[in-house]
Amino acid sequence: MTSQITSLVEFFEQTGIKFRIFDMGRRVSSISKQQFFAFEQGKQPYPMPLQLQAWIGILGWPGEDTSKHFIWFLKMPLDESGNINYAARDDLLHRLVQIAEAGLQGDSGPDAQQSMEDNPYGFKPNDDRMAVFHAKALKSLAQPASQFYRHTQRYFSGQEGWDQWSSVGMQGIADMVVRLEEEQNATIISKAIPQLPLPPLEALAKCLENEAIPTSISEALVQRVETELKQQEPELAVVSLCIRAMSCAPATGLRQQLLEKILQTPMATSVDLLVSIAGRAWEDLKQAHIRLLFLEALANNPAGQEVFNKLMADLFFIPGMREELMQTLREPERSDTLAQAIGQFFAAIRSE
């Protein structure tokens, strides 16, 4: 069996398991079988690498019986071009074949999950990623939302009082966010955003960052930031969270105008803000003017060269970003501070 299987896609198809694949790194988002198979065959890099790893969630079930579904979380090392590490892939496949031959796949989902927890390629997502994954899994299997869904709707509708956020769980928020097109959830959330205290705003942002949110929610987030920026001492966390929340939104113009404005304020050099942009809104860095503002702020961050190197290295390995970054790194109008930070970054790479 091992010699016949050269990919996870083939493994599931040969064992009769239906499956869906999700990226669990930069966003919780689906990856098509064709795209993932091309990655496994070395024909294209992993679409959204994080820290030189592919962080993958797999939802599988035997035949037509979705009630026996199981979940695996796998991390796969990548090379410096974001391509698959064949030795790691082959080792993982060997372990999966052993699980299959032991009868632990499909109709024995829980045992298979325990086996994967003992696998060196397994990992446990943090709570917000887990909640979003479960919400997406339930929806994709045409199953109802969790028991927390209705209470969350009441809270975001303002019926419980905005100060009663401690009774609202992450799972209910995730359920509501993945069902934005249902039951006026998008309208409810957009109206709630101006009122939310910081804790529920943070939980909401961690869910919204995985969705192509409607313009009404993007506009509410922009307005929340604009209101915050007018304060005598703007709260950085609010700004960073709103950027994260709209990072996957189709309203790119709104987001990029906001980023350009924020990156010209004193808070631009904040490490939290820079991490939010690099980790969640990296696609906006393909815009030359935003990219230069970002890199200048990064070069002046208070934590110094270590943070510059870490974020630059992470961005360098996203498909298509290396070329964009190199253009700006050669920009003759860059500051002396940025030029120095760039020099130290490449010196660190050469020394590794």
SS3 26: coil
User: Given this model, what pLDDT does residue 182 score?
Assistant: 95
Per-residue pLDDT for 3 more than 60?
no
Mean pLDDT across the stretch 321-340? Answer: 91
pLDDT band at 148 (very low <50, low <70, confident <90, very high): very high
User: Given this model, what pLDDT does residue 113 score?
Assistant: 54
Mean pLDDT across the stretch 92-109? Answer: 65
Per-residue pLDDT for 237 more than 80?
yes
* Whole-angstrom distance, CA of residue 295 vs CA of residue 328: 9
* Whole-angstrom distance, CA of residue 142 vs CA of residue 262: 40
The answer to whether the beta carbons of residues 280 and 26 sit under 8 Å apart is: yes
Long-range pairs, 329-333, Cβ under 8 A, ≥24: 329/295, 331/292, 333/292
User: Given this model, what pLDDT does residue 81 score?
Assistant: 84
More confident residue, 14 or 271: 271
> What percentage of the chain reaches a pLDDT higher than 90?
72
- Torsions phi, psi for 163 (to 5 deg): -85, 0
User: Given this model, what pLDDT does residue 115 score?
Assistant: 56
Mean of per-residue pLDDT scores for the chain: 90
The answer to whether the beta carbons of residues 294 and 264 sit under 8 Å apart is: no
Burial classification of residue 87, based on how many CB atoms lie within 10 Å of its CB (0-12 exposed, 13-18 middle, 19 or more buried): exposed
Per-residue pLDDT for 275 more than 50?
yes
| pTM assigned to the model | 0.91
Residue-wise pLDDT tens digits, 28-80: 999 999 999 999 999 999 999 998 899 999 999 887 878 788 899 999 999 88
Residue-wise pLDDT tens digits, 158-217: 999 999 999 999 999 999 999 999 999 999 999 999 999 999 999 999 999 999 999 999
pLDDT band at 132 (very low <50, low <70, confident <90, very high): very high
Token digits for 108?
Answer: 């024995």
Among 1-5, 58-62, 262-266, which range has the highest average pLDDT? 262-266
Per-residue pLDDT for 24 more than 70?
yes
Residue-wise pLDDT tens digits, 219-233: 999 999 999 999 999
The answer to whether the beta carbons of residues 9 and 36 sit under 8 Å apart is: yes
Q: State how far the alpha carbon of 205 is from the alpha carbons of 170, 211, 239, 256, in Å.
A: 11, 10, 11, 17
User: Given this model, what pLDDT does residue 120 score?
Assistant: 87
Residue-wise pLDDT tens digits, 160-173: 999 999 999 999 99
User: Given this model, what pLDDT does residue 291 score?
Assistant: 96
pLDDT band at 110 (very low <50, low <70, confident <90, very high): very low
143 contact partners, CB below 8 Å, separation of at least 6:
66
